[in-house]
């Protein structure tokens, strides 16, 4: 029976210790028993003291330690840090990579519900223009780029076909094969997690769908992909024009799929604010993350909103079966 939730505390130079503490105070006591944090025990404890937070933190050897079930349990990464909230980039990077690697390894176990990572500065990852989604996909040996980034609110989901690449590279990256792979993953995981066949809306790339000109990406790539998906009995409609779909049409679909990051995330965040979490479909386990950044400007101010992390924890607890 799956009964463990793994949380990587994420970037040490961030609001993560604040949102962890605020989340811990609000989540159900029975869920707390399931949670094991991957962190540096001394660093997190000192950050809590600095922020004047009082809660019981306990170092444990593994996820099978039941003697401290009510405590905030830390699987310790034995590293030394030069500062509390201004950790050197080299040290922070090693901490993040070690934490992700260990989190991945533990998440593969059959009794783990899922993996959550608190926000991370992507510059700490080993390659440029790679996010946690892509890093964990490589660890899971996903070779066809079929992993999918999902941003989910209580009412709506969006997903970009391309992730963490510059706008100038989007048209070179998208392909019929890539769209097919991503949409198939969405279909499989919606059935697996939500027990439903999703209604999928797919957007064009260009303004007004390039008026469907002969050599446009819409005519050459997106429309042929939609036709093939429909032949596979996958409920996909489009391409819709991105500048109007978020007025009201989005409400008729379970998920809106765009061609690039900001095409769907900007309107989505305008509509739903902190009512959102970041999910990855297509890995060997369920992964979630708060849908916001490290917010270094808020460190120590007690203004960070823990809503998204709380929603991640509750989501994994509910759907990570």
Q: Domains in the chain: how many in total?
A: 2
**Tokens representing residue 287 in the block:** 């992964």
**Domain range enclosing 290:** 1-142+283-321
Give the three-state DSSP class for 278.
strand
Give the three-state DSSP class for 89.
helix
Please tell me whether residues 106 and 47 are part of one structural domain. Answer: yes
Q: What residues in the chain have per-residue pLDDT under 70?
A: 128-129
DSSP string, 36-87: EEEE-HHHHHHHHHHTT----EEEESSTT--TTTTSEEEEE-----S-SS--
pLDDT of residue 126: 87
Please tell me whether residues 98 and 4 are part of one structural domain. Answer: yes
Task: Please state the pTM of the whole predicted model.
Answer: 0.93
Please tell me whether residues 156 and 214 are part of one structural domain. Answer: yes
Please tell me whether residues 80 and 198 are part of one structural domain. Answer: no
Please tell me whether residues 8 and 114 are part of one structural domain. Answer: yes
pLDDT of residue 293: 92
**Cα 152 to Cα 297: distance, rounded to the nearest angstrom:** 25
Domain of 51, CATH number, reads 3.40.718.10
Please tell me whether residues 259 and 158 are part of one structural domain. Answer: yes
Please tell me whether residues 209 and 153 are part of one structural domain. Answer: yes
Angle at 200 between CA 198 and CA 203, to 5 degrees: 165
Please tell me whether residues 261 and 219 are part of one structural domain. Answer: yes
Please tell me whether residues 23 and 118 are part of one structural domain. Answer: yes
pLDDT digits (tens, 9 = 90+) for 205-217: 999 988 888 889 9
pLDDT of residue 301: 92
Please tell me whether residues 154 and 100 are part of one structural domain. Answer: no
pLDDT of residue 215: 87
DSSP string, 204-260: -SSGGGGGG-TTSHIIIIIHHHHHHHHHTT--EEEEEPTTTTTTTGGGG-SEEEESS
With beta carbons less than 8 A apart as the criterion, state whether 279 and 288 touch: yes
Please tell me whether residues 98 and 149 are part of one structural domain. Answer: no
Please tell me whether residues 1 and 131 are part of one structural domain. Answer: yes
């Amino acid at each position: 029976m799956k009964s463990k939730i793994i949380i990587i505390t994420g970037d040490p130079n961030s609001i993560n210790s604040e949102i962890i503490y605020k989340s811990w105070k609000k989540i159900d006591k029975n869920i707390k028993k399931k949670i094991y944090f991957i962190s540096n025990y001394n660093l997190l404890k000192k950050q809590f003291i600095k922020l004047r937070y009082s809660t019981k933190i306990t170092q444990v050897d593994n996820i099978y330690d039941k003697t401290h079930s009510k405590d905030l349990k830390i699987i310790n990464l034995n590293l030394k840090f030069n500062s509390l909230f201004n950790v050197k980039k080299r040290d922070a990077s090693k901490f993040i990579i070690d934490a992700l690697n260990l989190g991945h390894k533990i998440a593969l176990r059959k009794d783990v519900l899922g993996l959550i990572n608190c926000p991370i500065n992507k510059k700490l990852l080993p390659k440029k223009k790679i996010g946690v989604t892509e890093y964990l996909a490589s660890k899971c040996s996903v070779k066809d780029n079929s992993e999918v980034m999902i941003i989910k609110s209580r009412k709506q989901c969006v997903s970009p076909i391309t992730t963490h690449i510059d706008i100038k590279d989007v048209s070179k990256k998208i392909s019929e094969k890539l769209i097919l792979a991503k949409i198939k993953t969405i279909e499989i995981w919606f059935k697996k997690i939500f027990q439903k066949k999703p209604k999928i809306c797919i957007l064009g790339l260009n303004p007004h769908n390039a008026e469907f000109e002969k050599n446009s990406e819409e005519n050459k790539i997106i429309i042929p992909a939609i036709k093939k998906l429909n032949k596979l009995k996958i409920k996909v409609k489009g391409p819709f024009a991105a500048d109007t779909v978020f007025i009201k049409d989005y409400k008729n679909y379970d998920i809106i799929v765009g061609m690039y990051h900001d095409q769907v995330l900007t309107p989505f965040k305008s509509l739903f604010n902190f009512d959102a979490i970041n999910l990855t479909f297509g890995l060997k386990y369920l992964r979630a993350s708060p849908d916001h950044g490290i917010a270094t400007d808020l460190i120590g101010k007690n203004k960070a909103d823990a809503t998204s992390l709380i929603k991640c924890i509750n989501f994994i607890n509910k759907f990570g079966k």
